[in-house]
A and B are shown apart, each in its own frame.
Chain A
Amino acid sequence: DAKTTQPPSMDCAEGRAANLPCNHSTISGNEYVYWYRQIHSQGPQYIIHGLKNNETNEMASLIITEDRKSSTLILPHATLRDTAVYYCIVRPGSGNTGKLIFGQGTTLQVKP
């Protein structure tokens, strides 16, 4: 499974866009990029995922570089409730394994 690298922490002002980077330089062709977040001591919450095209849903946007070696999760208007640990995960598409490998994630602190 590909390994991901994320900055350990980031700050963002409330109302501004939060851009969370993730490096996954060893990603292979059939591996998807998934983002989850975990608000203190709760279960991880699914945010978004993508293969190679940019994706957007009601929570966030996911920008994947053309070479797929890195991606950025964008929260367009961060609120205090977005303060959480954000995990970037790479997982294979074929085989449909249920095993997610979590790194240390990025702790995002949204400040008023």
Chain B
Amino acid sequence: QLVESGGGLVQPGGSLRLSCAASGFTFSTYWMGWVRQAPGKGLEWVANIKQDGGEKYYVDSVEGRFTISRDNAKNSLYLQMNSLGVEDTAVYYCARSQLLAYDVFNMWGQGTMVTVSS
């Protein structure tokens, strides 16, 4: 399973670090990603990271502000979010990619809410 944490209320321009704890599968063998959903809106892919952390991909809107990382020894995925804006308000889901860098997400966490507001 995947369990996210670290969400909360942050002021515009602030930073937040999300975590995702993985269990029940061999975390180090999967591409992992973050997908977000603004309140009442659809799904938006945010970032993906390769098994060894050597490749990372981001949606244009977060490039340069967000950093995805992982610690395979701790079975954990992270998302460091800087320069947050109100448009980043969303539920952030940690998700496991089936096989490829871009693939169906076949396992999802329950999500953690990030609210950017003054």
Q: Do A and B come from one complex?
A: no
Which residues does B use to contact A, with CB under 8 Å? none
